[in-house]
Structure 1
Amino acid sequence: LYRYIMDNFPDAKIVTYEDPVEYILGNENDLLPPHQAEIGRDVVSFAAGLRSAVRRNPEIIGVGEIRDNETADAAVQAGNTGHYCLSTMHTKSPGETLARLLGLFPPVIRDSMAWAVLSLLQFILVQVLVRTNDGGRKAVREYIVINDELRDNLSGMPHAEWGHHIDAIIRQEKRRIRDQILEMYIRNEVDRREAILFIPPGELRS
């Protein structure tokens, strides 16, 4: 994703905060190489990095992981000031991602922060790597685009139901990771041992 941005929007300023920095994102041909900072070496925390990033006035802020209230709050504040934030969470579905993000906020401010998140959130994607029968790996993804229509639908229900509603949409449209892996299994692209890591055995055809 960062490579795509650098190739197609070469003047976009990117800053990332990672724990640790695993890959060097830029190369010598980039007009504006991204600034990559490591937690514990360059900044004390993801939240501190986010606050520092806003002062750099980038177009894109990459946050290695949102895992506490302070980081979640800093990400929302960065979004409110017009910065596009990319981050990760360890979750199994887009609905779980949203529910876990909102759960990071203390109950006393959760309602207000939920509406702030809903107004800013653009896209949630979950990805797994599946071992295929040809010896390789394939990325399988499920996602939801948070467009105006979905925002309107979610705004009419309690935020505690938002995650369930999002996952229900993906399930109804048969776009879950397990739906896609089942199709791969039927096409003999993955074996049974790999498929049951993602699909209940009873749903697999012999």
Structure 2
Amino acid sequence: MVRGKTQMKRIENASSRQVTFSKRRSGLLKKAFELSVLCDAEVALIIFSPSGRLYEFSSSSQMSHTIERYQKNARTLANQRITEEVYTQKLKDEAADSYKKLELLEDAKRTLLGENIVSCSIAELVQVEEQLEKSLCKIRARKHTLFQEQIHHLKEQEAKLMKVNTDLKEKCEMVASMIPLSQPLSPDMEVETGLFIGPPKTKANHV
């Protein structure tokens, strides 16, 4: 016969309720003992019957030791939860503050770009104008600095190229001075050549 699933509700019959309590209490105490032995765990079990009678099991020598250990760990866990909740709330507050600052920066950006000036007062517009003037002065100063650095760099390159040019010129003059010049010819000197003007000479026939 298949045993039906027990419904999880209070047993109305007092006799059946007492029998079920005795059976399940014994099984629960047995399981607690097995858990402590097999897994080397510290187990404490406290049961009060409907009539108020106490049943307990403790794997340690004293039940109070396990209870104190439980209370200590419970306080530690409670403090950890409180710390985590405080830290989480702090992160939420920081995120909300950062979001507000971001919105203010976006509004200021749109105002500087001239996209959000319809609702601005004269004083706010004057303040925006002053900010733009300050920004423009900084931009011009930075541009002037970059131009000066670029000019200085070009002058350094010019000086290097001029030095290289001077060195090459000196080397060319040195090489030219080392080459000997050929002696010029005198106008009175005759130069023998193989050139003959007139009919060619013939060899005489000997008789």
* Greater gyration radius: 2
Same fold, judged at TM 0.5 (above)? no
If each structure's helix is expressed as a fraction of its own residues, which one has the higher value?
A: 2
Per the normalisation by structure 2, the TM-score is 0.22
Per the normalisation by structure 1, the TM-score is 0.22
If each structure's strand is expressed as a fraction of its own residues, which one has the higher value?
A: 1
